[in-house]
Amino acid sequence: MEDFDIAVIGAGSGGLVVASACAQIGAKVLLIERARMGGECLNTGCVPSKTLIRSAKVLSLIRRADEFGLGSVDVRFDYSRVVDRIHRVIERISIHDSPERFESMGCKVVFGTARFLSPYEITVGKRRIKARRFVIATGSSPLIPDLPGSKEVDFLTNENIFEMRTLPGSMVVLGAGPIGVELGQAFTRFGTRVTMLQRSGAILSREDRDVRREMERILREEGMEIITGTTLVGFERKDGKKVVRFRREDREYTVTADEILCALGRVPNVGDLDLEKAGIEYTDRGIVVDQSLRTTQRHIYACGDVVGPYRFTHMASYQAGIIVRNAIFHLSSKVDYSTVPWVIFTDPEVARVGVTEDEARSRYGGVEVYTFRLSDNDRANTDEETRGFVKIICTKRGRIVGAHIVGSNAGEYVHEIILAMKNGLSVGSIINTIHVYPTLAEAVKQACSQRLKGALTPFKKSLIKILFGLQG
């Protein structure tokens, strides 16, 4: 039997952070991966999707050449070359996640499916392994609807769409969350006729209401058909096409397309682990952990998509850091989800941290909301990227509790707000910080500066004139 200080199950973002940190500290580490190093993010998630989105963005810019004074351009492209680029980018980045790199750090890397035999033992194929600590970081998989005809239509998901080498003429996107809107917009820009079906009454249902409205308007203007308030009924094949049946307002409809992209959410990967044998509690939402990311077995930890509640790569890495401090250094570090940021990589991007306006009013009562349109930002105008806004939500005393940005490269300049919130700084701290001109980041300061304008009441202006002898 092989014996380790720590066994990490899953070589995605969370598992890799734990394994590398523990190995470099001097622990004897086993890293187990069922499929490919790098996990969903590298192979079928963040990296390929953002590469695809970038190609679609460039195509969009070329078609907008006249807006930049360059005249109209007729552009043609071979979609298979876009797919080739996706795989080149994955290959370049995969060097950082390779088995050889982690072996060089001191990790033992094993490929196969890990199954618990007891709280302290697992098997991987014919190997029998014992460890003092375990970390489960097995990720998640696309949720596939269990409806009539589901097995007949061969859904596209993030796990196979980047292998598709022929651009479909038409596509139905099931779900209007981040994955659905990101890929739906990209394929619309490539020329695919996209119809998006959403169960709730709005796309991006977790986002602030102003964000939802802005993005729905933008996506419709680009040519995407969006149908909200739908309930899926079933699927079928007809004349070489794929058919989706759905209900809306007590009537049944159908939509036909070449492909169906399923983006209805994700489910945690727990089925093959035999968690019951280790006494680890889990639900359909994932493995149950406490604030220190311990499972119901105190020496077994879990992080990333298999835990939630936020299924982002940066969240998996953050949780992994908590686990390293607790599992190796025996600290009592706890997760802090008060300033969790995320970005939806549409064009323009959607960046968010903290609560929505509705959540803030419910939680804090009276709040102040400051909004600045990017059409009034000079850099946005020079770049012809004037769609969107910066929205800051704060308490009456100016403490920031939420921020929402719709704008080009919003994910790059939301971090100033994240830092302010994390350190309890007010909007005043941003107002008093020098921002480079002209930049899109200046829009954050411009939004916060709305507080000064609102505070200058007619009475205060009159008082200032009297006190300082002003003539205006």
Q: What is the pLDDT of residue 346?
A: 98
* Residues with Cβ within 8 Å of residue 146, at least 6 apart in sequence: none
CB atoms within 10 A of CB 154: 12
In the CATH scheme, what architecture does the domain 150-265 have? 3-Layer(bba) Sandwich (3.50)
DSSP letter, residue 314: H
* Residue 469 phi, psi (nearest 5): 65, 40
- Which CATH number describes the domain made up of 2-37+98-142+267-327? 3.50.50.60
- Structure tokens of 248? 């809306």
Could you report the per-residue pLDDT of 272-287, keeping only the tens digit for each?
Answer: 999 999 999 999 999 9
User: Domain 341-455 maps to which CATH number in 3.30.460.80, 3.30.1180.20, 3.40.50.300, 3.30.390.30?
Assistant: 3.30.390.30
Q: Average pLDDT of 95-114?
A: 97
Using CA atoms, how far residue 105 sits from 27, 330, 433, in Å, is 11, 22, 42
Could you report the per-residue pLDDT of 40-78, keeping only the tens digit for each?
Answer: 999 999 999 999 999 999 999 999 999 999 999 889 999
Q: What is the pLDDT of residue 471?
A: 72
Q: 464 pLDDT exceeds 70?
A: no
| pLDDT-based confidence at residue 365 (cuts at 50, 70, 90) | confident
Q: What is the pLDDT of residue 307?
A: 97
Contact 158, 44 (CB under 8 A): yes
Half-sphere exposure of 144 (CA within 13 A, CB side): 16
Contact 350, 211 (CB under 8 A): yes
- Is-same-fold flag (2-37+98-142+267-327; 341-455)? no
| Residue that has been written with the tokens 């380790």 in this structure | 4
Contact 14, 316 (CB under 8 A): yes
| Residue that has been written with the tokens 């069922």 in this structure | 34
Q: What is the pLDDT of residue 455?
A: 60
Q: What is the pLDDT of residue 452?
A: 81
Residue among 379, 361, 395 nearest 446 (CA) = 379
Listed by start position, the domains of the chain span 2-37+98-142+267-327, 150-265, 341-455
Provide the angle, in degrees to the nearest 10, between the axes of the packed helices 313-327 and 13-25: 30
Residue among 87, 79, 65 nearest 191 (CA) = 79
